[in-house]
Amino acid sequence: MEMLAKMNKQQLEEKLGSGQYVLFFTADWCPDCRFIKPAMPEIEADFADYTFIQVDRDENIDLCQELMVMGIPSFIVYQDGKEVSRFVNKDRKTKAEVEDFLVAAK
């Protein structure tokens, strides 16, 4: 999974301008993020039509504020530079919940 460099919302939308992406917002210190991380390779494999990008909340705090991502772990789906769906809250997320979200986002 690619790690997102530090950037703002405009730069992000340009980067994601073509294709389907899932942004995975996380932080090393977050226990709920550590809970879902082991399932991420399998989720990526199950949804291979998406490019998954990990966003370090601490590295990209300004971007998170611009995107109104106040809780982690969280997920935002982009298609051709535009947000199409989000699973953003501060709750622990299971593999099944993330996969259900991604199925619904299609």
Q: Which residues are catalytic?
A: 30, 33
4 phi-psi bin (left φ>0, alpha ψ -120 to 50, beta other): beta
Sign of CA dihedral 50, 21, 72, 102: negative
Contact (Cβ atoms closer than 8 angstroms) between residue 33 and residue 72 = yes
